[in-house]
Structure 1
């Protein structure tokens, strides 16, 4: 099933697939929800030599115990940011996307050919680019595909790559809470695969031991249980909700899923029992929660390559190749997207493409707060704004931020209610709120209600944010 012979033209096709995807990765804005607080965790971990175990970001939950399982992702982001600023953060995303989709291309090419792999990876890339936010899940993508690659080799009788599994699990257990996924893949392989099970069982044991190498030890498994049962995440974070066929990217996903049935029925190539188990298991996950769609989408692309492999053989292969030209042009195409890096693109694109998602990243409002530190007392802010403040201005602690599981569901319910301008004054009085940092895009009703109140005075206003303080405090 796995072809190992590669040619220079294969590298050229790989470059054609990756060039637009790397370009997209370098153009996507930084979204603040998980990025800035992760950077704050990384900063505190590096400076203190230990992962924070209590909340130091908000004032409403200050001193409460908290677990930062993805601490390593925060440390990596913080160190890279310190070395090269936001430009290196974008470069890191481009590299991770290139590795992830490059490995998917390899697996698709191994069961079909280079051109079909290029088409499938390109479609997969544009359909899943909405999952490329810089967050702890991003480095988990290449880890997932390396697990898949190792197990597909094992399935075909080659067990020499099983060492990848415990190494990947060691990293994953410190990067993102989805580190249970390699166990799902490998456990299914053990029961339904065709490879040698004794060595795979040994690899599974090493994988479990690898998860214990983290600041929480075996308690890291409690984090998974906590996340899977966290009402704050499940009730208020949209990524935990089932996917809906809204937007062109989800249109592609559901169309691909619907097309999979006739492909499976009419293709002369068939999936193995293990591949069907993976398909059904990850398909169920994807349809139960938006956050799982990308894992299933990766499998869809590889299995589609299997079904279309016989058709792909009919494509005429070139009889002449020019290795030097192929490699040279391929490398050139892979370097072209670098012109989209922040710091370079402004020279020829101006400010037409934002580095940050401006509607959720209050750059100018935060500068005002930094210039008025005395005003930053008992701050109530838009939750995304709070995420940005956690790193950009740690001295200005918000009532809450974008760490969904750091706050009880009652607090999130109250946040949603106040953002809708319902009983907001009573809540601000009860909590002793003195300063507001509101989003014009996310909280227009609250901005309007506070503007009409004679108890609050506007201190700052721009296109994205408004700052109010209590008039009697002036």
Structure 2
């Protein structure tokens, strides 16, 4: 009876924290950005015509190789939109983020509730990196699963699921390489601990499985072409200028607090261990702190790493608490989700997407190519699929010089590209572009949401 009660309490705590996480994510995602519309447009294209070999959208990238391996995520988002519109997309995505916590909680069920809540509180604000509906949310879920699976010394059969997880992950989002980094650090750290006698046993099959996981990532439509995609992603010097998530973290001192917090949490747990202390957690912590310094988008991995540390070296205890605390929290989450559905759904678009102007273009297409920012281009692909645009939100598909020129055009510069690119309309937020464009025959057709639509008769 006591064991059953303990199980119910652990289940209630896990459900409450998952529900609270999903609810926070739902309310924090106050606006939809252009990423979701590119995913929806890609999902619609794949559902209708299968996986294309070349870029199917009418952008400057049209006809080039379509380096896109995240087709499963695109189909998932498109299917959700068909079933319940953007409301269901936002709701389901918030629960993807919430469910990312579940394997971490299950892996920490024999740890003290105080440390578990500390790790959860640390993870929660880091969700801002993936708060908008995007394929990266699936990477967080896969990474959380991997955190539990890499501990092959407890239930060794589970570690053999890792190559399957990597194969699935590679078709959902490109961050599967981060999972391989975790696995490699755990394998090397575990081997060092076993050699130094700091761990009673270490599963030697980790290195074999790491070798199997590497070819598993090739089980995508791109096959070996995935390396070209990853190279293009990391080789574009313009990305940090265009999107905050590619900024080096060391340029933002406030964000360094997250790295310092993880180091402090690791030090706290290690100090409670009797010597000799294992090297594996130190190696994993150092590796992911170094990774997080390279770009703000990598801060999200620190949350699951905190749970890895808790699972690996945390003091034993019980996650179970009285249901007088967990059940009201779960009920409160359900009420808040109901309020969101009744009064707030769906989340509006970001103002910078110029939704009103996009709807005008949908009703009255421009006879030629429309120059627009990347997010607006993605929205146009979804709302007005026949309208040719300059670029969309898949920055990695465009050479850096082409991307720079597309944005220069929106500022009224590089006007020599109007003719070769066939530009007949412009959506821009730059007032200074009006005068040079008017000299080329463009006129302001409409202003809305801080942006302008200029067309040339």
Fold conserved between structures, TM > 0.5: yes
Aligned match of 2:402 in 396, 411, 421? 411
* TM-superposed deviation, 1:257: 4.4
Q: How many angstroms apart in 2 are the aligned matches of 1:390 and 1:251?
A: 37
- 8 Å CA contact 1:150, 1:161 repeated in 2: yes
Unpaired runs of 5+ in structure 1? none
Aligned match of 1:286 in 292, 301, 314? 292
Computed over aligned residues only, the root mean square deviation of the Cα atoms, in angstroms, reads: 3.3
Match of 1:256 in 2: 261
Aligned match of 1:391 in 378, 382, 385? 382
Equivalent residue pairs, number: 443
Unpaired runs of 5+ in structure 2? 195-200
Asked if residue 275 in structure 1 is aligned to residue 281 in structure 2, the reply is yes
Match of 1:121 in 2: 120
* TM-superposed deviation, 1:33: 3.3
- 8 Å CA contact 2:163, 2:216 repeated in 1: yes
Match of 1:31 in 2: 32
- 8 Å CA contact 2:428, 2:452 repeated in 1: yes
Q: Provide Cα deviations, 1:265-293, integer angstroms capped at 9, x if missing partner.
A: 75446863222221111111110111211
Asked if residue 134 in structure 1 is aligned to residue 139 in structure 2, the reply is no
Match of 1:455 in 2: 441
Stretches of 4+ aligned residues off by more than 6 angstroms: 304-308
* TM-superposed deviation, 1:89: 0.8
Range moving further from structure 2, 329-338 or 58-67: 329-338
Q: How many angstroms apart in 1 are the aligned matches of 2:310 and 2:88?
A: 35
Range moving further from structure 2, 278-287 or 187-196: 187-196
Q: How many angstroms apart in 2 are the aligned matches of 1:354 and 1:453?
A: 41
Match of 2:197 in 1: none
Q: Provide Cα deviations, 1:362-421, integer angstroms capped at 9, x if missing partner.
A: 322122112212x24221112210011111111112111211111111112223433444
* TM-superposed deviation, 1:16: 4.2
Asked if residue 360 in structure 1 is aligned to residue 352 in structure 2, the reply is yes
- 8 Å CA contact 2:25, 2:127 repeated in 1: no
Aligned match of 1:182 in 175, 179, 184? 179
Q: Please state whether the residue corresponding to 1:138 is helix, strand or coil.
A: helix
1:154-233 paired onto structure 2 within 5 Å? 154=152, 156-193=153-190, 196-233=202-239
| 86 and 340 in structure 1: CA distance in 2 versus 1, 3 angstrom threshold | farther
| 21 and 269 in structure 1: CA distance in 2 versus 1, 3 angstrom threshold | farther
| 338 and 457 in structure 1: CA distance in 2 versus 1, 3 angstrom threshold | same
| 183 and 368 in structure 1: CA distance in 2 versus 1, 3 angstrom threshold | same
Q: How many angstroms apart in 2 are the aligned matches of 1:307 and 1:188?
A: 16
- 8 Å CA contact 1:147, 1:164 repeated in 2: no
Q: How many angstroms apart in 1 are the aligned matches of 2:79 and 2:431?
A: 37
Match of 2:423 in 1: 433
* TM-superposed deviation, 1:430: 5.3
Match of 2:11 in 1: 11
Match of 1:468 in 2: 454
Q: Please state whether the residue corresponding to 2:156 is helix, strand or coil.
A: coil
* TM-superposed deviation, 1:100: 0.9
Q: How many angstroms apart in 2 are the aligned matches of 1:429 and 1:205?
A: 52
